Amino acid sequence: MTRFVLGQNQYGKAENRVVKITRDGDTHHIKDLNVSVALSGDMEEVHRSGSNANVLPTDTTKNTVFAFAKEHGIESAEDLGVKLARHFVDNNEPIHRARIRVEEYSWERIETSKGGARFVGSEEIAHSFVRKGQETRVAQITYDGHGVQVLSGFKDLTVLNSTSSEFFGFLKDKYTTLQEDYDRILATTVSTWWRHNWDGVDSHAPDWDRSYAGVRKHALQAFAETYSYSLQQTLFEMGVRVLNSRDEVDEIRFSMPNKHHFRSDLSPFGIDNEAKDGAVYYAADRPYGLIEATILRDGAEQLIPVDMTNL
């Protein structure tokens, strides 16, 4: 008789939108998260017979996320994720592994006018916010009862260099039509994950917010300061700068589409359109080149899954 084997499986409650307001007198602070929980363990029987004896309801995982946000607060996406992952595994015997994924949406305060408000106390407004339109911060925490793996990152951060970028000397065949370019726009939307070397055994966790700010700063500085002959070269320099500057990071992976800007052909109108004179470009939406790579410390193991960033 043919026997079928249950492969990798997990379950949980995805995309729990959690907004936590912390009040410090009249000054309010906001944390806006999207939290997804995935659990795995002794789940053979529920798949074969439907017995739910080892199943913690997904509704319970949702309730836990909101309860932890209230009881423990949200110091950072990583901190909340570590607490949740450990709770699910350490307090539920059939559950052997928990993976928590978090997206964090940033807000900044609205600067109010001087004397223009119309209610008492309005001159000290500290509770109005506007959603930041830059990147989305992300985190993934995995705990198996022994060690913690923390991945941090961001996605959808669009950056552009209007010069200091070339692309020439590339491989050509009979289908190649692209012209070499010695002064081009380099634009991309950066998505990245990096792996911390903290494994949860040492009680001293990194300062997650400081670490995030540092990685972001050094990656962007490298993008701005690298004279680029290829997007691959720029990507690699961004990773090297991060690893050189942040001791708590052992591995970083980037996914960077090349947002092509092509010079418009204005020659039919007798108009030169050279970069040195301030060219006019059209921004191509798709298709686009997609450049991806992982940069590691020498001797470090590559552990960030490739499919977390690629198409």
Q: State the binding site for O2.
A: 258
Helices (H), the chain: 44-48, 58-71, 77-90, 208-225, 231-245
Task: Determine whether 58 is an active site residue.
Answer: yes
Query: H or E element: which one contains 125?
Result: none
Q: Which of 31, 62, 83, 260 is catalytic?
A: 260
**Which amino acid, residue 161?**
N
How far, CA to CA in Å, does 235 sit from each of 12, 111, 194, 213, 294? 35, 36, 14, 18, 9
**CA 71/CA 65 separation, integer angstroms:** 10
Phi and psi, residue 136, nearest 5°: -105, 125
> Where is the binding site, in residues?
58-59, 167, 184, 232, 258
Per annotation, catalytic residue among 20, 28, 29, 58 = 58
User: What is the helix, strand, coil percentage profile of the chain, to 5?
Assistant: 25, 35, 40
User: Strands 129-131, 148-161: parallel, antiparallel or unpaired by DSSP?
Assistant: unpaired
Q: CA–CA separation, 250 vs 273, rounded Å?
A: 45
What DSSP line would sit under 221-260, residue for residue?
A: HHHHHPPBS-HHHHHHHHHHHHHHH-TTEEEEEEEEEE--
Active site residue 204: no
The one catalytic residue in 13, 31, 83, 218 is 13
Q: Peptide bond before 287: cis, by omega within 30 degrees of 0? A: yes
The annotated binding site for 5-hydroxyisourate is made up of 167, 184, 232, 258
Task: Quickly count helices (H) and strands (E) in the chain.
Answer: 5, 12
User: Please, what is the angle between helix 77-90 and helix 208-225, to 10°?
Assistant: 130
Report the binding-site residues for urate: 58-59, 167, 184, 232, 258
**Residues recognised as catalytic:** 13, 58, 260
